[in-house]
Structure 1
Amino acid sequence: MPYDLKELAAISGQSGLYRLVRPARHGVLVETLDAKATRSLAPASNKVSLLSEIGIYAQDSDDTLPLTDVFERIYQKYGASLPVSGKSSEAELTGFLAEVMPEYDRQRVYLSDIKKLTNWYTIVSQHLPYQPTQAEAAPATDEPLSTGGVIGEADPAATPTGNPEVTQEKAPAAKKSAKKPD
């Protein structure tokens, strides 16, 4: 997962994104996702939508692509900076989403949804570190990461059998049993 969206939320009636801090008696304590990191109470009357539970409609009527996957696609194509913003033209925004997610449902995904997507991605990419998936973090070569177990073939006549680090001269003497025979 490129960005950890589990604790991030959008709150109805409020602009921007918020980090969930903890539940409170009459709502949820949230922190703005900006440089100020202002804490406030989101009342229970407001709808709090976790970004990890939001998806974009696909052409298949029952299918949605989770926002984390859409963010991953955007990052793979554009990195942390987008070629569009929420103020771009309708053609630019729909073209952008069609490049990132060609299978999106053009009937159910509105222009306002695409604007939110670009604004949210911009906020998240500025304030959260990108975490590469395991496949991206692994080295691309077949070289071993350590020499453990990758010791080259040695001349069998040159080394004694058993532990090659222990020579015959340094071999420890056999311990005598401390137990006395009856």
Structure 2
Amino acid sequence: LTLADTADGGLVVPRQIPPAEGLDDVAFNWCHGPAGTSLLFAALDRAGVPDVAGRSPSAWERACVRSLRTSGIPQRRHPGFWDNDGRCCGTAGTGDVVLSVWQRTGHDEDLAFALQLADAVVDRAVREGPHACWRFVEHRKAEPLLPPGVGWMQGAAGIAAFLFRVVRVAEHGRPAKVLARSDTWFATP
């Protein structure tokens, strides 16, 4: 936390120390940003840790979510910024984290943001007849448009799981069933 930016009530940590040339100093995703960092604080809260650097783990989790909401995602502001809609590095994973926070805390702005992320995922689907897939961009490659993936962290399986969860939440509200997974069981309501 000593290296974190906590301006405006948020929380982001540097992506890499020292910063890497050609990469944003911070990221906002599950693996390198406040979406993933928020999971740390959810785990500490669940473990009964009362205080981290003078604040409760749940207060730090709220700070992470605030940074997500004010970051500009899911807009693609420049090459390399939010070019992925998968679970690990993009919109689906971040949306799933925010849905868990909403189901545990009930803050309306979290649900609104999770639904905004879901809308972006649906809008970015590449449709061919009855089929859909998602293509991500790696702006540092000679051929930046990546082929569609089918996997959990970087493909259709993980994105579909997020969208199915959004539908359950839309139908059942905060009590909607959440499937505990090995990577986030401690953050589920």
TM-score by length of 1: 0.25
Q: Greater share of strand residues, 1 or 2?
A: 1
Q: TM-score, normalised by structure 2?
A: 0.24
Higher Cα radius of gyration = 1
More helix by share: 2
